[in-house]
Amino acid sequence: MATFPIPLLDASLFTQGTESQKLHFANDLMAGFKRYGSVKLINHEIPEETVAGVFDWISWLQCARYGKISPKTRSQDSRENFDQGPASDLQYPNRWPSEEELPGFRTFMESYFITCERVVLYLMSALELAMGLPADCFHDRMLAVHGSELRLNGYPEIDIADLNSGTVSRIWPHTDIDIITLLFQDGVGGLEIEDPNNLGHFEPVVRQGPTEMVVNISATLQRWSNDTLHAGVHQVTIPQGWKGKSEAGLAERYSVPYLAKADREVSVGTLPEFVTADGIVKYKPISALEFQQERLSTAY
């Protein structure tokens, strides 16, 4: 079966390569984002045992039904989740189960959060290089009081008939609010992205290996770049191999997105570097926190 040709990039070319290899990776990253709104990464410096460990924790949480304490408000999305922010966030501190309840969980997840943050930072450096921007143009807007989120998503078993009814979905089509999103998914399938050249048409994003990372452009980067880059519209629905069936149940599905956000008080309006020669500014200044609150008010 042919799959949507989202570019598969080797991140080690940027993290360990020559200057020429770094530039090559940066340009390929930019090209993939412009065409698809998404790329896939391998050799991204998150080892297989770490990725496996995250999914082990999701499975354990689902078995213990711990995730039930934080279901999604929109019942039309068939999903449960555990959300985590930066350990340094004093304004919205994380709420953790006790060490007695889940020994080792907090330590593992805080370490994994920092690992994801490092990946985001070198990807933003690559974009700065590809776009000819000053070094730290993006970094300086996302390192102080950011509200980045790490999410453990569990999608309960569901009948295909329920998804075919059109009243419920694992996730409805949407764009993320952050800068970029890093995503690992299990092998169940169902993730689809909209083809920017054929709006309304979604293509499956099939996982080729357990450490394959999907990276999506999100709304903040679209705003900063004045629509140079567009946020990738995506959804989770019936996997390709199950479409056309009416009487079957889909297995539980797990995914781990890391949503890299701007500092809360930083403007997510168009950056000066992206204002066009004729002065067109598509996005007026608004703080990242205000933008998030605005989006949330329309989502629920």
Domain coverage including residue 108: 8-299
Look at residue 76 and tell me if it is in a domain: yes
Look at residue 3 and tell me if it is in a domain: no
Look at residue 288 and tell me if it is in a domain: yes
**CA distance linking residue 30 with residue 52, whole number of Å:** 29
Look at residue 224 and tell me if it is in a domain: yes
pTM of the entire predicted model: 0.91
pLDDT score at 67: 46
| Strand residue runs (E) in the chain | 8-10, 38-42, 80-84, 149-155, 158-159, 171-174, 180-185, 191-194, 202-204, 213-217, 234-236, 249-250, 253-260
Look at residue 2 and tell me if it is in a domain: no
pLDDT tens readout for residues 39-95? 999 999 999 999 999 999 998 886 665 544 344 444 455 667 899 999 999 889 999
Q: Residues of the chain whose pLDDT is less than 50? A: 1-2, 67-75
Look at residue 294 and tell me if it is in a domain: yes
Total domains, the chain: 1
Look at residue 149 and tell me if it is in a domain: yes
Look at residue 1 and tell me if it is in a domain: no
Q: What is the CATH number of the domain that holds 70?
A: 2.60.120.330
Distance of CA 275 to the CA centre of its chain: 26
